[in-house]
Amino acid sequence: MRLERLDPWRVRIPRHGGMRVDGIVYAGPELMAEIERDPCLEQVANVAHLPGIVGASLAMPDIHWGYGFPIGGVAAMDAEEGVISPGGVGYDINCGVRLLRSTLTADEVRPRLRELVAQLFRNVPTGVGAGRRDLRLGRRDLERVLARGAAWAVGRGMGEPDDLLHIEEGGCLATADPEAVSARACERGGPQLGTLGSGNHFCEVQEVEEVFDEKAAAAFGLARGQVTVMLHSGSRGLGHQVCSDFLKRMLDAARRYGIALPDRQLCCAPIRSEEGREYLGAMAAAANFAFANRQVMTHWVRESFAAVFGLPPARLGLGVVYDVCHNIAKFERFTVAGRERRLCVHRKGATRAYPPGHPQTPEAYREAGQPVIIPGDMGRYSYVLAGTERAFADTFGSSCHGAGRRLSRHRAKAAARGRDLVGELAARGVVVMADGMGTVAEEMPEAYKDVAEVVEVVEGAGISCRVARLRPLGVIKG
Catalytic residue list = 401
- Whether 464 and 353 have beta carbons less than 8 Å apart is answered as yes
Q: Phi and psi for 282 in degrees, rounded to 5?
A: -70, -40
The type of residue at 36 is E
Q: Nearest Cα to 78, choosing from 284, 319, 334?
A: 334
Euclidean distance between CA atoms 268 and 4, whole angstroms: 29
Q: Nearest Cα to 47, choosing from 29, 65, 61, 30?
A: 65
3-state secondary structure the chain: CCCEEEECCEEEECCCCCCCCCEEEECCHHHHHHHCCCCHHHHHHHHCCCCCEEEEEEEEEEEECCCCCCEEEEEEEECCCCEECHHHCCCCCCCEEEEEEEEEEHHHHHHHHHHHHHHHHHHCCCCCCCCCCCCCCCHHHHHHHHHHCHHHHHHCCCCCHHHHCCEHHHHCCCCCCHHHCCHHHHHHHHHHCCCCCCCCCEEEEEEEEEECCHHHHHHHCCCCCEEEEEEEECCHHHHHHHHHHHHHHHHHHHHHCCCCCCCHHHCCEECCCHHHHHHHHHHHHHHHHHHHHHHHHHHHHHHHHHHHHCCCHHHHCCEEEEEEECEEEEEEEEEECCEEEEEEEEEECCEECCCCCCCCCCHHHCCCCCEEEECCCCCCCEEEEECCHHHHHHCCCEECCCCCECCCHHHHHHHHCCCCHHHHHHHCCCEEEECCHHHHHHCCHHHECCHHHHHHHHHHCCCCEEEEEEEEEEEEEC
- Whether 55 and 78 have beta carbons less than 8 Å apart is answered as no
CA 12 to chain CA centroid, nearest Å:
25
Euclidean distance between CA atoms 244 and 133, whole angstroms: 27
